[in-house]
A = this chain, B = another copy of it.
Amino acid sequence: MELDTLFRVVDVTGVVASGLLGGALARSKRFDIVGFVTLAIITGLGGGMIRDVLLSSGFPVALTDPAYLAGALTAAVVAYVVRLDGTWPRRSLVVADVLALGCWSATGTIKAATLGLAVLPSIMLGVITAVGGGMLRDVLVGKTPTVFGGNTLYASLAALGSVEALVCMKVFGRPDLGMLVAILTTTILGMLARRLGWMLP
């Protein structure tokens, strides 16, 4: 499988996972179907769209690659039809959430670095890609974004994933390895952090 295809598959998986999380929030707020669709799109595609707008390099990929919007809409419909509140659905969503975190921090950082940005801005864009959609979603429903603290590790994991992806890309010339490492790290550490209640000072 080519690198671009791999990135795309993992990326869209993250979109579906985040879209389900957005839909689950819409259910808890008793929104109508429009609310499900809006929150799924914003949670699933918001971070990448902020990244692409900041990188100002043509249309955001969420508008040109049909798989992204289709993934978010599918997630909205699934979340609308199926109640995702059993033990296993909840656990799967948690895993999907930290998996998307790693995937997006890696793709965001690699895209920014490929376009010529320096180290710090590339990492910042990785973090924005990973947590931007969730922040937008939280603000839209009137919550203080969870990235600000009082929650377990989230943006800090995205920063770690971004650094790893950048190292793998710049030092070893292996962005694909960077994505793998970033996903593994955020998923494992993210699960541990939730289980053990790790927090930043």
Contacts and interface: CB of A to CB of B under 8 A. Distances in A.
Interface string A131-156: 00001000111111101111000111
Sort chain A's interface into a size bin.
Answer: 35 or more
Interface string A88-126: 000000000000000000000000100001101100110
A71 to B, nearest CB: 11
A196 interface: no
Contacts of A135: 140
A58 B55 CA distance: 8
Interface of A: 26, 29-35, 38-39, 41, 49, 53-56, 58-60, 62-64, 66, 69-70, 73, 112, 117-118, 120-121, 124-125, 135, 139-145, 147-150, 154-156, 199-201
